A and B are shown apart, each in its own frame.
Chain A
Amino acid sequence: MHVVAQKIFQRKSEVVMFLAAISILLSVATVALTGDFLFWKIAKVFYLIGVIFILFDK
């Protein structure tokens, strides 16, 4: 599992963006069940960090 993940994600930006996507998908569940937007906000933070990493990717 770890090896496969390493093959797919070779940059920090890809890992952070993946976390952003997972947070968005989680937020759909939490918003629907509890009305809480915490994961939705976390996703935006991950996304912002991911974009900054991407801009510096070679």
Chain B
Amino acid sequence: MFELFGMEFYQLLSFGRQLGLSVMGGASLWAMVFLYIAHNKKVEDSSGIFLTWIGLRMRWLVIGGGLLSVAMWTILTMLIPVAAHEGVTLITVREGVLNAMNLMTPLYLAIGAISIFALVKYKNPYVLFNNKKGYSWFYMVTFILSSIAVSYYTDLRGLPANEIIFHIFHGFHSVFTLGTVLCLDFMFLSTQKTPFAQKHIFPLFPQISKVIWVGLSLDLLSTLLIYPEAIALTPRFYFAQIVVGILIINGILLSGILTRRILKNIEEGHKEGSLKWEWFATVAGAISITSWSAITFVDQFHDMNISLEIMFAVYAAIIGVLIIGREIWSKLDRRAEEMHMNM
């Protein structure tokens, strides 16, 4: 079976599953919130149009995340029985994951079915929500399904209460952190060329950031439940701790001074100086996404044996690639601009 630097193939699949479910959960949560806020806006308030637009656009994140997680789950359930009993220390972990995946079979089938349904209905997204009452049955269902699936990543039966709470928080926090960070970035990129849309969507960012902070606290505080037994002083531990430190500083800047400056610029009309702040926000966004993904990634690989220097070199390289990628995206994505032109 594939193994590289102490990382096993099933752990890589588990990371893909976690990533997909986090994006699905985060996008469902925020799309649901935006559609609800939009519904409660007065008819003459144009912000409702933008919130509905971004809420419906988020279904692509839900569909993408859902299909990714189902694909990873399918390979995991097909592969693990063959790979079992390879190493004494990993048997429990691998069997725990396998049992959880088997128990969650109906849930993953439902995620696959609802994702395909939304994909088939891509030309008519209005069937996904109740226009009269302002709630979306689709996002509600996908949020519940992804939250349960992401929290139950290992078999919790028979475990002590502290370990059960730790695992649930440890899994679920990804919806509030990684999933929400990716949604924020999606919104930032989707509205980069439409100052008018930014004016309605950016003021929500500080409130969204609060959920990310709460998500990180679920993870940080739940580690106290398993301290000190579960702590191993490996490069993986030091890497995760340093990245959390970077994340917090980056988060303070992104949800603090950068958001304040950008909002001020939007209110005053876009000036030359605002480009500089938007570029800083782009860098901070890239650091945020890479850091959350990196923490989630290393978390899956208990026996990873990569040095700290290499981990940070890869981390820095990914941040660089993301910054370049975002520049390319902002040049290629014309849909937001078209919507603005049609207003």
A17 and B248 contact, CB distance less than 8 A: yes
Q: Which residue of B lies closest to A8 (CB)?
A: B257
Contacting pair A24 B252 (CB below 8 A): no
**CB distance A44 to B224 under 8 Å?**
yes
Closest to A28 in B: B241
Rounded to whole Å, the gap between the CB of A2 and the closest CB of chain B is 16
Contact of A37 with B228 in the complex, beta carbons under 8 Å = yes
Q: Which of B214, B217, B238 has the most CB of A within 10 A?
A: B217
A54 to B228 Cα, complex, angstroms: 29
Instruction: Answer whether A57 and B206 are a contact pair too, CB < 8 Å, given A14-B252, A24-B245.
Output: yes
Would you list 17 pairs from A and B whose C-beta atoms are within 8 A, ordered by A residue?
A9-B252, A9-B256, A10-B260, A14-B252, A14-B256, A17-B248, A17-B251, A18-B248, A21-B248, A25-B241, A25-B245, A28-B238, A47-B217, A47-B248, A48-B221, A50-B213, A57-B210
Question: In the complex, how many angstroms separate the beta carbon of B205 from the nearest chain A beta carbon?
Answer: 13
Complex A-B, nearest 8 residue pairs according to Cβ-Cβ distance, in ascending order: A21-B248, A24-B245, A25-B245, A21-B249, A21-B245, A51-B217, A14-B252, A28-B241
Tell me if B220 and A44 are in contact (CB < 8 A). yes
What residues of B have a CB within 8 angstroms of the CB of A20 in the complex? 248
User: Chain A binding site: helix, strand, loop or mixed by DSSP?
Assistant: helix
Q: Which positions 111-144 of chain B face chain A at CB distance < 8 Å?
A: none
Give bound CA distance, A10 to B249, whole Å: 14
> Are B245 and A48 in contact, CB atoms less than 8 angstroms apart?
no
Produce 1/0 per residue, A26-38, CB < 8 A to B: 0110011001010
Distance in angstroms between the alpha carbons of A21 and B245 in the assembled complex: 4
Residues in B neighbouring A51, C-beta threshold 8 A: 213-214, 217
**Given known contacts A32-B238, A47-B217, what 13 new A-B pairs fall within 8 Å (CB)?**
A8-B256, A9-B252, A17-B251, A18-B248, A18-B249, A20-B248, A24-B242, A25-B241, A28-B241, A37-B227, A47-B248, A50-B213, A51-B214
Q: Which of A24, A31, A57 contacts B248 (CB 8 A)?
A: A24
Q: Given A7-B257, A24-B245, A54-B210, answer yes or no on A18-B220 (Cβ-Cβ < 8 Å).
A: no
Chain A nearest CB, measured from B310 CB (Å): 17
Residues of A within 8 A of B251 (CB): 17
**Chain A interfacial positions (CB closer than 8 Å to B):** 7-11, 14, 17-18, 20-22, 24-25, 27-28, 31-32, 35, 37, 40, 44, 47-48, 50-51, 54-55, 57
- Which residue from chain B places its CB closest to the CB of A53 in the assembled complex? B213
Contact in complex: B241, A44 (CB < 8 Å): no
Assembled-state Cα–Cα distance A42/B55 (Å): 39
- The interface bits of chain B over 204-220 (1 if a CB of A lies within 8 angstroms of the residue's CB, else 0) are 00100110011011001
Q: Shortest distance in angstroms between B227's beta carbon and chain A's nearest beta carbon?
A: 8
In the complex, the chain A residue whose C-beta lies closest to that of B206 is A57
Interface residues of B in 242-299 (CB under 8 A from A): 242, 244-246, 248-249, 251-253, 256-257, 260
The smallest C-beta distance from A17 to any residue of chain B, in angstroms, reads 5
In the bound assembly, the distance between CA atoms of A11 and B257 in angstroms comes to 10
Separation in Å of the B118 CB from the closest CB of chain A? Answer: 33
B233 interface hit (Cβ, 8 Å):
yes
- Least CB distance, A51 to chain B, in whole angstroms: 5
A18 and B252 in contact, given A10-B260, A25-B245, A28-B245 (Cβ under 8 angstroms): yes
